[in-house]
Amino acid sequence: MGDGGDPGLFATIYSMRALRRFRPDPIPEETLFQLFDAAIRAPSGQNAQDWRFVVVTEAAAKARLQGWAEEGWRRYQPELAAHPERIDALPRPQRLTLRSVAHLVAHLHEAPAVIAVLGLKGRHSTPGGSTFPAVQNLLLAARALGLGASVFNLPMRGGDELRELLAIPDTNDLYCLIPVGWPLDRPGPVRRKPVKAVVYRERFGERWPFAESQPDEGWGARWRA
């Protein structure tokens, strides 16, 4: 399936980042099946498993998704869409991320597959709460299989036309889109705020001394893939 073996859970978690450049090679059916067979092991409210997935591989459909991504990009980043060279002047982390976003905006039709993630409307009290655990499983499984993937919602600009393209029934919400393929870039490590900045003890805003004594970059070095 992938090039190496399964990196193990923690190495997978610490190295799963948004990969947005793909070789055009198709994803074998058994690899796709493994991806979804892992995704659907996720928890959901009342174990309802209301998630549904549409795998888009047809060229014409992917071209339409790309058109909407371009619209979304122009709306979300009008300056960079009109002057892509301005990305080069940004600080490194932003520059690398935005270059990869701009690349996918222009090449979405070449991604071997785009997965649409749906869930039943109105059934769960926490919208998305019963869907995104499966999304995360899917992203981690993609990383473990040597695939690249990321949530990429710019084509959501397509709105009703997108729903029509994928024949999404009114009973379902579209939660996200995930382009998947064999990556041209390497996985991880990912940059995140330190634990101490986002975890409190007992009450919001109260310090956690142990977390404060840990390196800001976290423990990723223990789990290099």
Ligand X SMILES: Cc1cc2nc3c(=O)[nH]c(=O)nc-3n(C[C@H](O)[C@H](O)[C@H](O)COP(=O)(O)O)c2cc1C
Residue numbers at the binding site for ligand X (CB under 6 A): 17-18, 101, 150-154, 176, 190
Work out how close the CB of 53 gets to ligand X at its nearest, in angstroms, rounded to a whole number.
Answer: 16
**Which distant-in-sequence residues (6+ apart) come within 8 Å of 74 by Cβ?**
81, 82
Work out how close the CB of 202 gets to ligand X at its nearest, in angstroms, rounded to a whole number.
Answer: 28
Q: Which of 145/149 has CB closer to ligand X?
A: 149
Q: Which of 140/176 has CB closer to ligand X?
A: 176
Q: From CA 6, how far away is CA 185, in angstroms rounded?
A: 18
Q: What size, in residues, is the chain? A: 225
Cα-based angle 187, 105, 11 (whole degrees, multiple of 5): 15
Work out how close the CB of 220 gets to ligand X at its nearest, in angstroms, rounded to a whole number.
Answer: 12
Q: Half-sphere exposure of 181 toward its Cβ, with a 13 Å CA cutoff? A: 23
Q: Which of 80/101 has CB closer to ligand X?
A: 101
Residue 105 vs residues 28, 73, 117, 122, 172: alpha-carbon distances, Å: 24, 7, 19, 31, 26
Residue of closest CB approach to ligand X: 17
Tokens at residue 29, please?
């059916």
Q: From CA 58, how far away is CA 125, in angstroms rounded?
A: 35
Work out how close the CB of 195 gets to ligand X at its nearest, in angstroms, rounded to a whole number.
Answer: 16
Work out how close the CB of 207 gets to ligand X at its nearest, in angstroms, rounded to a whole number.
Answer: 26
Convert 20-55 to b/e letters by CB count within 10 Å (16 or more is b): bbbeeeebeeebbebbbebbeebebeeeeebbbbbe
Work out how close the CB of 78 gets to ligand X at its nearest, in angstroms, rounded to a whole number.
Answer: 15
Q: From CA 71, how far away is CA 53, in angstroms rounded?
A: 24
